[in-house]
Chains A and B, each alone.
Chain A
Amino acid sequence: MPKTSSDKPQRKAVALVSGGLDSMLAVRVLQEQGVHVEGINFFTGFCVEGHTHAIRKKDRDKPKRNNALWCAEQLGIKLHIIDVSEDYKGVVLNPKHGYGANLNPCLDCKGFMVHEALEWMKKHDFDFLITGEVIGQRPMSQRKDTMPVISKESGAGDLLLRPLCAKLLPETKPEREGWVDREQLLDFSGRNRKPQMALAEKFGFKEYAQPAGGCCFLTDANYSSKLADLWKARGEKTYEIDDIVMLKVGRHLRPRPHFKLIIAREEGETNFLRGYRRNYLSLNTISHSGPISLIDGEADEDDLELAARLVARFSSGRTSELVTVEVRQKNGESKNIEVKPLTAEDIPQEWYV
């Protein structure tokens, strides 16, 4: 084990790095004490980072970055990004502690991530875990009464250190063993961000992300509503990665309980949805320019005509008498049908998911 200048063995901590300011500060607090820190970031499928920004053409010119990678670079630490999307389904579909305001299973999620980080820590011979959690900052997972639940249910126990609020919590093993100095840890609590901002200034962090809970689509009401609609239509709580990616793309309309349309809103989404034509039945206006649309579910001939009229409504032929729509099967076979576009009044608001 490497030695520090004081000849004590250098301890190694793995940090859950979300890309926000709190995890960035937590890492730096430990680095100041000579601890070797590496970051871990989990891909659940619901991460806000990247997805829609990457798809929509209008956003293409905006600078894009993965905040977790950016933070790691600022901190000079390695970052390990782990795909946990398959195992994460159990958290989303059946959260032991229930959901928050939307379909966000925050308490189960944090317990799951700490557990996964613990397994990684053991495998890579690290000594303890840290998070940027602050008491009272989140209504579900960051409360004084739920933090011990996370420590216990994750299996991490007293190997889990929260540097930003450690002084308000029972002593952990890294503190007890002298791996870190408790006196140099912090006592942040509540939703007030001023202490974090002051510490950021002290550390010279000029720029940092302000996610404030916005890093997960499950905290978003519109997204949660689309996911609930998907489960209701299928008659069971289940999903595949493609399903949850699709919920972030396009305009979703459900004209009948057994199928919905995913209609591209612009060129970037059209290009993205085109890549899924082998997985979904698709519709495309031929006589007029218009967006590509996918059908999720089963549609008979009447349904297809209705879907085509709906798609025609979103094409440049919306005021035309007839619009030709190509209906393409997953195997590439296609046929053209001519339909009269629906009017705006023909489309009930309830169809919009």
Chain B
Amino acid sequence: MSETTLDARNLLCPLPVIRTQDRVEKVEPGECLLIQCTDHGVINDIPAWCRINGHEVLSIDEQDYEIVIKIRVGKTR
């Protein structure tokens, strides 16, 4: 399964969500996307965006000031 990375560090919410939304448009269903962020707002916002748009959050790793969220892109976009 292929995996791509999105650098959304130093962006404030909702920009990480917008960048994720734009990137997901270019990713095939079933593929995984790793999103690197520094704004802690993403811990709520990206999972909420995934829930309403049919994507799956696989993990949220938080280390100091960086958060990495892994999602699997759903079929409906």
A interface residues (Cβ-Cβ under 8 A, vs B): 41, 43, 47, 49-51, 53-55, 60, 63-66, 69-70, 72-73, 76-83, 245, 271, 275
Contact = CB atoms under 8 A, between A and B. Distances in A.
B15 A43 contact: yes
A81 B43 CA distance: 17
Interface string B34-76: 0000111101110011011100000000000100000000000
A50 B52 contact: no
14 contacts: A41-B14, A50-B13, A60-B40, A64-B41, A66-B13, A66-B14, A69-B49, A73-B48, A77-B52, A79-B52, A79-B53, A80-B21, A81-B21, A81-B49
Contacts of A60: 40
* Nearest 8 interchain pairs by C-beta: A50-B13, A69-B48, A54-B39, A54-B41, A66-B45, A65-B44, A50-B41, A64-B41
A124 B31 CA distance: 24
Contacts of A66: 13-14, 17, 41, 44-45, 48
A182 B41 CA distance: 40
Contacts of B38: 275
A163 B43 CA distance: 34
Contact of B12 (A50, A73, A83): A50
B11 to A, nearest CB: 10
A53 B40 CA distance: 9
B45 A65 contact: yes
A85 to B, nearest CB: 9
B10 interface: yes
Given A47-B14, A54-B13, A64-B40, A73 B53 contact: no
Contacts of A63: 44
A64 to B, nearest CB: 5
Interface of B: 10, 12-15, 17-18, 21, 38-41, 43-45, 48-49, 51-53, 65
Given A43-B18, A49-B14, A50-B14, 5 more contacts: A47-B14, A64-B40, A70-B48, A79-B52, A81-B17
Nearest to A41: B14
B13 to A, nearest CB: 3
Contacts of A245: 12
B17 A82 contact: no
A72 B48 CA distance: 9
A54 B12 CA distance: 7
A275 B49 contact: no
Contacts of A50: 12-14, 39, 41, 45
Contacts of B41: 50, 53-54, 64, 66
B38 to A, nearest CB: 8
Given A66-B48, A79-B49, A80-B21, A275 B40 contact: no
A69 B39 contact: no
Contacts of B51: 73
Contacts of A72: 52
Nearest to A68: B14
B48 A51 contact: no
Contacts of A79: 49, 52-53
Given A50-B12, A54-B39, A54-B40, A69 B52 contact: yes
A54 B13 CA distance: 8
B45 A78 contact: no
Contacts of A49: 13-14
Contacts of B44: 63-66
Contacts of A271: 65
